[in-house]
């Protein structure tokens, strides 16, 4: 009995593992969409369009990476869209003051990290719920941006090198600087989650904060660091977006927090904490970007984009439920077999 079932297990294990991966449902969905689009619209399955999707997904991807880290620690960062806008304005302002470009770019990223740090302090030192603290930051950062600019977009900071950094000029084909930066960010976050003590602790803090505290994990530090990472990613996104659009509108980034959360969840992160991967964030961002791209190309009313995004989110979460039930069942089966 034990022997026959272990053979069946081995043949099914590859599929089983795939089914248990939280983001494979979303990945399957996006593949179906891509195949259908390629058949229906000849312009879809082209190198140019792939390049477009890759360049468009960078922004949500970077935010989703930061969001994933925060979600792993059991938090949530609602402020990333506003932080992205304010950081971009800081960067533009510094460049306009006449210092070399690099200072502006660093200032934007640093501003994001700083605002993330404030988020972290509000949550850990003042004991505010994550949702409330970052919701407050969403309002404060956006309000400051409007007060500062009086609603007038910032322009005129586009130095020649910025065009290259923002991917508007493409010296290496569709592989732009933002894509390379996103790649580095994915590898860095993946490495950080896997091999550093921060990564190991983050999952513990998220899945069981009390246990983590009792086993003398520096919960406060881990949480603050997670928010700094998220803020830093938002700053980086703002810096790139300021380049891509060549203007900092005070509305920049509105709604991006929702996209970032959706991408992270589609990628297998959980609002309950303790779960999520950098690769999942890539899948989530890819799903959202391909959906938007398909809707633009097919000429379907953009109102459908919200419907489709919502459906994708729903399918991803339902799939995740089913796969976790499967996972539970197979572990239970395994323990039973081990006992016989």
Partner 1 sequence: MSAPENTRKGGYSRRNVLAQMGLGAGLLAGTGLLSACSTVSTSTASAAGAGGSGGAASAGGAAYDAEIKKLVNGRTLQLGWTPPILSEWYDQMEKAAFGRMAELEKAYGVQWKWERSSPTGNFDAVEQQISTVRGWTSRKFDAVLVCTGANFATMQSVYRQAEEAGTKVFQFNQPVEIYPEEEVVTVSNIGYDNRWQSGYLAGNFIAKTLGGKGKIIQIMGPSGSDWAKARKIGFEQALKENPGLQVVGSADGGYVRDKGLNAAQDLLTRNRDVNAIYGENEDMALGASQAVDAAGLKQWDGTDGVVIVGADGLVSGMDAIKAGKLTATIDVGSVDQGRTFIDTIFRSIVLGETVAKIIEVPTRVVTKKNVDAAKAYIQGNMKPSKTY
Binding site for partner 1 (CB under 8 A): 41-44, 46, 48-49, 52, 56, 59, 142-143, 146, 149-153, 155, 168, 170, 241, 244-247, 249-252, 254-255, 292-293, 295-297, 299, 301-303, 305
Give the C-alpha distances (Å, rounded to integers) separating 48 from 44, 45, 174: 9, 9, 8
The least distance separating partner 1 from the CB of residue 304, rounded to whole angstroms, comes to 10
List Cβ neighbours of 293 (8 Å cut-off, separation of 6 or more).
Answer: 44, 49, 52, 53, 56
The least distance separating partner 1 from the CB of residue 253, rounded to whole angstroms, comes to 9
Nearer residue to partner 1 within complex by CB, 73 or 79: 79
Nearer residue to partner 1 within complex by CB, 175 or 297: 297
Q: Residue 156 and residue 13: Cα distance in Å, rounded? A: 57
Q: Residue 23 and residue 9: Cα distance in Å, rounded? A: 22
The least distance separating partner 1 from the CB of residue 340, rounded to whole angstroms, comes to 57
Nearer residue to partner 1 within complex by CB, 100 or 143: 143
Whether the CB-CB separation of 256 and 63 falls below 8 Å is answered with yes
The phi-psi region of residue 9 (left if phi > 0; otherwise alpha if psi is between -120 and 50; otherwise beta) is alpha
Nearer residue to partner 1 within complex by CB, 41 or 103: 41
The least distance separating partner 1 from the CB of residue 203, rounded to whole angstroms, comes to 34
The least distance separating partner 1 from the CB of residue 296, rounded to whole angstroms, comes to 4
Nearer residue to partner 1 within complex by CB, 150 or 210: 150
Q: Counting Cβ atoms within 10 Å, is residue 315 exposed (0-12), middle (13-18) or buried (19+)?
A: middle
């Amino acid at each position: 009995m034990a022997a026959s079932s272990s053979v069946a297990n081995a043949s099914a294990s590859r599929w089983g593992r795939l089914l248990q991966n939280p983001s494979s449902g979303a990945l399957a969905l996006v593949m179906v969409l891509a195949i259908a689009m390629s058949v229906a619209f000849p312009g879809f399955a082209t190198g140019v369009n792939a390049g477009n999707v890759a360049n468009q997904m960078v922004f949500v991807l970077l935010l989703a990476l930061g969001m994933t880290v925060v979600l792993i620690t059991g938090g949530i960062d609602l402020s990333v869209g506003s932080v992205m806008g304010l950081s971009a304005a800081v960067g533009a302002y510094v460049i306009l003051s006449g210092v070399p470009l690099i200072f502006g770019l660093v200032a934007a990223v640093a501003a994001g990290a700083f605002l993330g740090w404030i988020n972290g302090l509000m949550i850990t030192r003042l004991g505010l719920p994550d949702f409330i603290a970052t919701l407050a930051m969403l309002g404060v950062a956006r309000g400051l941006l409007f007060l500062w600019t009086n609603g007038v977009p910032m322009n005129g900071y586009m130095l020649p090198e910025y065009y290259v950094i923002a991917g508007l000029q493409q010296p290496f084909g569709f592989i732009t600087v933002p894509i390379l930066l996103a790649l580095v960010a994915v590898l860095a976050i993946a490495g950080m989650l896997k091999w550093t003590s921060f990564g190991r602790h983050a999952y513990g803090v998220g899945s069981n904060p009390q246990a983590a505290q009792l086993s003398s994990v520096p919960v406060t530090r881990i949480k603050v660091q997670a928010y700094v990472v998220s803020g830093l990613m938002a700053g980086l996104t703002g810096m790139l977006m300021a380049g891509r659009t060549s203007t900092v509108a005070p509305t920049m980034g509105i709604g991006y927090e929702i996209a970032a959360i959706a991408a992270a969840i589609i990628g297998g992160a959980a609002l309950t904490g303790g779960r999520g991967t950098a690769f999942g964030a890539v899948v989530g961002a890819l799903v959202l970007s391909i959906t938007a791209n398909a809707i633009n190309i097919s000429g379907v009313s953009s109102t459908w984009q919200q419907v489709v995004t919502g459906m994708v989110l729903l399918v991803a979460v339902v799939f995740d439920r089913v796969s976790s039930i499967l996972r539970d069942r197979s572990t239970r089966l395994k323990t039973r077999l081990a006992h016989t």
